[in-house]
Chain A
């Protein structure tokens, strides 16, 4: 079956602009998570959605937001871009569970969207 699809794969923006990244999870997966990957900070958790509800949010400023649609597809938005937002943004999906956490721990990652802010 098709994997996690992220679009666009590469994009260049300038400071002050905003950006929207899209993620299509594996069919049947209801949980979508977003992570920021940078050489200095590694992989940092942004947020997780399940059935259109944000269940958990990482320690990022309010400029970072996201949403999930009824078909489980997700978008994340970064407003007023800063140079430090340059990163690889990874989306991951999992079956999810109504009860609780990542009980299997297996996330399926997309290849990422590489954002460069100039």
Chain B
């Protein structure tokens, strides 16, 4: 079955530092890949996505590139802010499958940014 592996946290950074959260996946077929973010006390929200190999998703200064050869989708931001403190989830789904109506999530990585 599908699986998503994220780097373990927690990660603590200073403001303006660079952030990278590693994500690798195991899946057959042609999955779409996502990063969701969960801010304290809130539900998850989509941060960015990529639907095919070599696609780059970007949003709010975050980027991730779909690398099929390394089965990876690492999340990066060049300069983090305190407001980026949250839990980040890597996820995948299979839009090519007619009976797959779910997202498979990684374990989540807690990021804390200190002023």
Contacts and interface: CB of A to CB of B under 8 A. Distances in A.
B94 interface: yes
B44 A90 contact: yes
B41 A111 contact: yes
Contact of B32 (A31, A105, A112): A105
Nearest to B31: A105
A33 B97 CA distance: 17
Interface residues of A, number: 28
B contacts with A: majority SS = loop
Interface string B95-109: 111111111111110
B101 A31 contact: yes
Given A101-B95, A102-B95, A33 B46 contact: no
A103 B94 CA distance: 8
Contacts of B41: 111
Interface string B6-33: 0000000000000000000000000010
Given A42-B106, A101-B94, A105-B93, A111 B43 contact: yes
A50 B101 CA distance: 10
A105 B43 contact: no
A31 B100 CA distance: 13
Contacts of A111: 41-43
Interface of B: 32, 34, 41-46, 49, 51, 89, 91, 93-108
28 contacts: A31-B101, A33-B101, A42-B105, A42-B107, A43-B105, A45-B103, A48-B101, A56-B99, A56-B101, A90-B43, A92-B43, A92-B44, A100-B95, A101-B94, A101-B95, A101-B98, A102-B100, A102-B101, A105-B32, A105-B49, A105-B93, A105-B103, A106-B49, A107-B44, A108-B43, A111-B41, A111-B43, A112-B43
Given A3-B43, A43-B89, 17 more contacts: A42-B105, A43-B103, A45-B102, A45-B104, A48-B101, A50-B101, A56-B100, A92-B44, A102-B101, A105-B32, A105-B34, A105-B51, A105-B91, A106-B49, A107-B46, A108-B45, A111-B43
